[in-house]
Structure formats: structure tokens, C-alpha cells
Structure 1
Amino acid sequence: MPVYVYEVILEDGSGGQVFEIEQSMKDPALETHPQTGEPVRRVYQPPNLGTRYTPGSTKSKLETKNVEKAGFTKYEKDKLTGKYHKTAGQDKRAPDVLQP
């Protein structure tokens, strides 16, 4: 069952105490605090997405040692000449420099 976040609505309309409650998706949103009876509103949260492909994890997976271990060749572009130089990989068939 999903967990929803609610906050107590204070007299001036601002948010008060925040609490979580497990509810079925079919249940209507709470209007009052289950223990105190104070008015509440649901607080919408960003979805909990997995962090499998974050920029940081992708960068670490593309490190030279990981690329070579997987059997790939990695090239990086030289900004001055525009050529691509091999920075990782043991395959002798792969050229050391690629022309654009």
C-alpha cells in the first residue's frame, strides 16, 4: 500500500505538523488528522525514482578501468585538432587516432 504525506493546516492557513499514513489508492484523501481531528491536506511528493542512471553513476561506469574491463575502446576528442584519441581499450585493431 502506498504511503501518503499529510500536513496539519494551522489557523492562519500555513502548514504545521507533517505525518505519513499508509492508505489504499482507492481511499479518499484525509480531511482531518486521525488522532487529533485537526484539518489536514495532502502534501504531494516527487516520485521515488531509481538512481541507476544518474550522471554520477554513468560517469563512474565510463571510467577507463571499467571500459577496458568490459572490452570496449574509449576515445576522447582533442579540442585543438578535432581528432579523437584512444584513451582506453586494449584491442590492437582499434586505431590510436580517429579523424573526424
Structure 2
Amino acid sequence: MPLYVYEVIRPDGSGGEQFEVFQKMSDPPLTQHPETGEPVRRVFAEPNAPRVWTDLHARSAVSDKNLAAKGFTKYVKTDQGTYEKVVGDGPKQLKRSNS
């Protein structure tokens, strides 16, 4: 269902407060504010389309700060079979057993 943007029409004809409403495409446009009854008009707005995933998005998603905020723990390999914690909860170091 599309998200439409409406604005209140002030007495002088200028635009006022804007608000968003989910409506079917087949629904007629609103003419009054659903809560206040003020006259409104539908306005054109930038579409909320998915954007291209870039390397910057990927780096941001796995940044230390973002991982910590989401509750993940990140380890970085420091030596053969040794990993040190960079962010999060858990032991400070993990070592691979030589079994």
C-alpha cells in the first residue's frame, strides 16, 4: 500500500502541516484532515525507493560501533589460531587448541 503525503491548506491557500497516510491506490484522495477536519491536499514527495547497496553501506553495517550496538562480539585474528576481542561481550582472547 502506498504512503501518501498530504498538507493542510491554510486560509490564505499556502501549505501548512504535512502528514503521511497509507492508502490503497484505488482510494480517493483525502479532502479533510482525519483528526482535525481541516482541508488538505495531496502533495508530491520523493519516492521511498530502495537504494543501491554500496561498499560504504557494507562497511557501516559491520563497523565496530554498529556491531556493539546490535549486541554482537567481534574477534580479529592476531596470530596463528589466536583471536582477540575488538568489541562486545565474551572472553578477551580465543585460542585454537592443538588437538
Relative to the length of structure 2, the TM-score reads: 0.50
Q: Which has the larger radius of gyration?
A: 1
Higher strand share: 2
